[in-house]
Amino acid sequence: MQIIVRTEDELKHRWNGLQNFLIDPEFFRFDMAFPPADEIVDILRRDGQARINIPGDDSEDEKKARVEEFKTLPVADVIDRPFSLAHFHLQNFYGEGQFLRDFQKKVMIPWRTFLASNGFTWQRCYPIIFISGRNCSSSYHMDTSHVVAWQVWGVKYFNAFKDPYKYAPLHDAVNNREALRGPNGPPDHDPGDILSYRMEKGDLLWNQLLTPHWVPAGDSVAVSVNISHGGIAFGGRFSPNETALRKRWESHPKEAWLVDVRY
């Protein structure tokens, strides 16, 4: 089962559903070159706002030591180790001479223009870089935003469920999201229930808000840029999942994520 959106009408039909989908490159694609994956890792790992995780059963002190090694040893010595790296403050690298100096012009502005030209509005829209070491995987989790994942280097397998509510009913996803999170992978499931996409360089995937997923990498370091959206609407209407989430925010206002200054 593969869902590929190729037209404006298909996008308007699919954007607020339950199944993730690919966006055909003839409909929309990004056009920006990135340094090799090891160079991106080397740049990001040195920044104080990088989030680095080394998987394993080590103690907290041992994990801290391994993270410090990952930051300071020559990148060639650590690039093949198991790791995950995330950076949520890409504005740190937008300056002249930095590797994301053209990011607004070549990624964020074209994407926002594409959304607006197709009739969408939003309240927040900001990018993140996620990097997985070879054969490493994200946790099993769900996001409180619609996310567009753009594969920049390597291969990732974006796994979700054909019927997300079978494994995460909407009430539980809204009210017990962290309890459903699985750091060691998804719960027991029927393999036939999986909706999986093999993400190669250039591929673009729309991940639906509050749907559980897990994303293992292939046998090389895999880099993706994920654009997180909040308050995205078409015709003034949020998706059913976001409507349910915002209903919770009415009674839990400290959880509300309405704006974001990162862009």
Give the rounded percent of residues in the chain with a pLDDT score beyond 90.
Answer: 92
pLDDT class for 242, splitting at 50, 70, 90? Answer: very high
pLDDT of residue 56: 84
- Neighbour count for residue 38 (Cβ, 10 Å): 16
Residue 63 has pLDDT above 90, yes or no: no
Helices (H), 73-223: 75-78, 103, 109-117, 164-167, 170-175, 177-180
DSSP element (H, E) containing 13: helix 8-14
Q: Is the dihedral of CA 185, 210, 130, 8 positive or negative?
A: positive
Both structure tokens of 172: 């539980």
Q: What is the pLDDT of residues 136-163, one digit of tens each?
A: 999 999 999 999 999 999 999 999 999 9
Strand partners, 150: 204, 225
Find, among 148, 115, 124, 149, the residue nearest to 230 by Cα.
124
- For the cut 90, the answer to whether the pLDDT of residue 59 exceeds it is no
Which of these, 129, 140, 208, lies nearest to 178 by C-alpha position? 140
User: What was the pLDDT predicted at 57?
Assistant: 79
> Could you report the per-residue pLDDT of 166-197, keeping only the tens digit for each?
999 999 999 999 999 988 889 999 999 999 99
Residues 83, 138 contacting (CB under 8 angstroms): no
pLDDT of residue 187: 93
Average pLDDT over residues 221-250: 97
pLDDT for the residue numbered 45: 98
Convert 217-240 into a string of H (helix), E (strand) and C (coil): ECCCCEEEEEEEEECCEECCECCH
Regarding pTM above 0.85, the answer is: yes
Render pLDDT for 90-121 as a digit per residue (tens, 0 to 9).
999 999 999 999 999 999 999 999 999 999 99
Backbone dihedral angles phi then psi of residue 30, each to the nearest 5 degrees: -90, 150
pLDDT: which is higher, 11 or 263: 11
Nearest Cα neighbor of 104 from 3, 9, 227, 240 is 227
User: What pLDDT, on a 0 to 100 scale, did the predictor assign at position 184?
Assistant: 84
When the pLDDT of each residue in the chain is averaged and rounded to a whole number, the result is 96
Q: What is the mean pLDDT of residues 205-209?
A: 98
pLDDT tier for residue 261 given thresholds of 50, 70 and 90:
confident
Whether the CB-CB separation of 103 and 127 falls below 8 Å is answered with yes
Please tell me whether residue 168 adopts helix, strand or coil conformation.
coil
- pLDDT at residue 58 tops 90: no
Query: What is the distance of C-alpha 178 from the center of its chain?
Result: 17
Q: Is the pLDDT of residue 230 over 90?
A: yes
pLDDT score of 170: 97
- Got the DSSP string for 28-53? ---------HHHHHHHHHTSTT-EEE
pLDDT band at 132 (very low <50, low <70, confident <90, very high): very high
Helix (H) or strand (E) holding 5: strand 4-5
Give the C-alpha separation, 138 to 132, whole Å: 8
pLDDT at residue 61 is higher than 90: no
Residue 108: the pLDDT is: 98
